[in-house]
Structure 1
Amino acid sequence: MFVLITGGQRSGKSAFAQNLALKLSDTPVYLATSRIWDEDHRQRILRHQQDRDARWTNLEEEKYLYRHDFSQKVVLLDCITLWLTNIFFDLQSDVDQSLVMAKEIIDRLLEQDFTLIAVTNEIGMGGHGANDVQRKFTDLQGWCNQYLASRADNVLLMVSGLPLEVKGNLLQ
């Protein structure tokens, strides 16, 4: 099963995803994708880590998500946006190459027999990007989210802490 959870910043995506993972498994895997780029971001990561207890297995993987064996496990991938950022900047902001690489990695990951709960962001719903790199990344994120949603069994949009079912019947 593949569940995609999307929404804006501070919409409740991660908390909902963690609760769902714990409903599906007593020992879920937390797959973190973030690189630490400043002190504020480091603090944000620490807050997320404090939200998880000893039931979780924590793994970090910046790009090649399929490197790990997740057979028969419940995996929370948090988050697609930070993972995509790693790809985008490693490929010198090339949107086309980044999207091809992201799709290939996702396809290889989904070859495994496991439950994936992936958290992503809707970043294109607000203002227009201030510069070319922001606009390129917003496009990339939107196209990647569309691809993920096409592959997912269930898609949930978080709004003000509430899950809205976009695809599937997970909440029924």
Structure 2
Amino acid sequence: MKQIILITGGARSGKSKYAERLALTLSPNPVYLATSRIWDEEFRQRVIRHQADRGPEWTNIEEDKELSRHSLSERVVLIDCVTLWCTNFFFDLDSNIEKSLEAIKQEFERFVKQDATFIFVTNEIGMGGTSENLIQRKFTDLQGWANQYIANRADKVVLMVSGIPLVVKES
């Protein structure tokens, strides 16, 4: 049953909707593991809207960093999203790329030891221009390296482009 699927793409490319549909084809009662922190009222409303869009068949878990704290063996787990998960490590570790990446890798490995189907959603934030902001450039590097790490371990990688899924890796 163990499988790792990575769904990536730009903002509003259809990643989350595709991931949700996929999870529901694999399980009648998937787990939605949300990694975001609530920063402001606009983001709170965004989270509420996303929660309302999901039905009662979902088991909802909110976990900003320690995904492995949750025993999810034999479940289909949608992790939304890697970008916010990385953001939490990045800011908690004072924007230190090396420490953040190492912590992300270690937590990822602890988490995926479980016998489950994992669907990770992430953003391709490095496809645009280079930011003039140092913190943004550092985070873009971290995100890119985290995405590469997960994609390397994934059985399947899907790139979403304008709502269209393109399979770029399938074992």
**Structure 1 unaligned regions, length at least 5:** none
Q: TM-score, normalised by structure 2?
A: 0.97
Counterpart residue type for residue 66 of structure 1? S
How big is each residue's C-alpha offset from its partner over 1:54-88, in whole Å with a ceiling of 9 and x where there is no partner?
00000010101000001100000000000100000
| Shift in Å, 1:43 | 1.6
Distance in 2 separating the partners of 1:66 and 1:129: 33
Partner residue, 1:103: 105
Partner of 1:141: 143
Instruction: Supply the distance in 2 between the matched residues of 1:47 and 1:10 (Cα, whole angstroms).
Output: 15
Q: Which of 5, 8, 14 does residue 3 from structure 1 map onto?
A: 5
Work out the CA distance in 2 between the residues paired with 1:157 and 1:134.
23
Please, which of 17, 37, 50 is the counterpart of residue 52 of structure 2?
Answer: 50
Quick one: distance in 1 between partners of 2:53 and 2:78?
13
Give me the whole-angstrom Cα distance separating, in 1, the residues matched to 2:118 and 2:95.
27
SS at match of 2:64: coil
Structure-2 residue corresponding to 1:114: 116
Moved over 2 A (4+): none
Quick one: distance in 1 between partners of 2:168 and 2:40? Answer: 34
Mapped partners of 2:116, 2:72: distance in 1: 6
Say whether residues 1:16 and 2:32 are aligned partners.
no
Measured against aligned partners, the alpha-carbon deviations of 1:87-131 in whole angstroms (never above 9, x if no partner) come to: 000000000000000000000111100000000000001121231
Residue 132 to residue 115, structure 1, CA distance change in 2 (3 Å): same
Q: TM-score, normalised by structure 1?
A: 0.97
Give the percent of matched residue pairs that are identical in Structure 1 and Structure 2.
63
Deviation, structure 1 residue 46: 1.4
Runs of 5+ consecutive residues of structure 2 not aligned to the other structure: none
User: What is the rounded CA distance, in whole Å, between the counterparts of 1:160 and 1:50 in structure 2?
Assistant: 23
Alignment RMSD = 0.8
Write the distance in 1 (CA, Å) between the matches of 2:32 and 2:87.
19
Moved more, 124-133 or 72-81: 124-133
Distance (Å, rounded) in 2 between the aligned partners of 1:75 and 1:160: 24
C-alpha separation in 1, matches of 2:15 and 2:53 = 13
